[in-house]
Amino acid sequence: MPVVQLQKRIFNEVPVEKEIFQNIVTLKHITNLVWYNNDDQVTNFTIKAMLSDADSRFGWCYLSCNFCKKKIPENLYCQKCRKELKFPQMRYNIEMKVTDESAKTTFLLFDSIAQKLIGLSCYQLLNKQENDIFSGE
């Protein structure tokens, strides 16, 4: 697969409703791409695939810094921001096994995407789990 020169994308140029019908590719296409390491370039693809499993071996959420969103240790000190955090946030970080007819791979669902799919913030889901356990559900 050739190296792909990513197009610089202007956000909100195309509405999401139209964008999902553009750039439709297979999983194999995505897994075979070789990306330039250039942080300011973003390309969106649409794939039709099945979320087959969640891999929670390394957890599905983490305690994060409110400022930089990085994972923080239990002492609640963010090394990057050099701050002790009083109210750190729980964020999703879910590894999803994804399959289509061409390939299998793993996608990492970061907080904002996982929140949209699940319909609850990480904090809300953890609270719901806790309430369900104590109410015997």
Site for Zn ion, rule CB under 5 A: 65, 67-68, 78, 80-81
Minimum separation from the CB atom of position 89 to Zn ion (A): 11
Closest chain position to Zn ion (CB)? 65
The tokens for 29 are: 């296409």
Minimum distance from residue 118 beta carbon to Zn ion (Å): 24
Q: Could you tell me the smallest distance in angstroms from the CB atom of residue 47 to Zn ion?
A: 33
Q: Which is nearer to Zn ion, 47 or 91 (CB)?
A: 91
C-beta of 25 vs 81, nearer to Zn ion: 81
Q: Which lies closer to Zn ion via its Cβ, residue 61 or residue 78?
A: 78
Buried b (16+ CB within 10 A) or exposed e, 26-54: bbbbbeeeeeeeeeeeeeeeebebeeeee
- Min dist CB 91 to Zn ion, Å, is 12
Please identify, using beta-carbon distances, which residue of 35 and 67 lies nearer to Zn ion. 67
* 117/49 Cα distance (integer angstroms): 15
Q: Which residues are CB-neighbours of 137 under 8 A, at least 6 positions away?
A: none
**Cβ-contact 94, 82 below 8 angstroms:** no
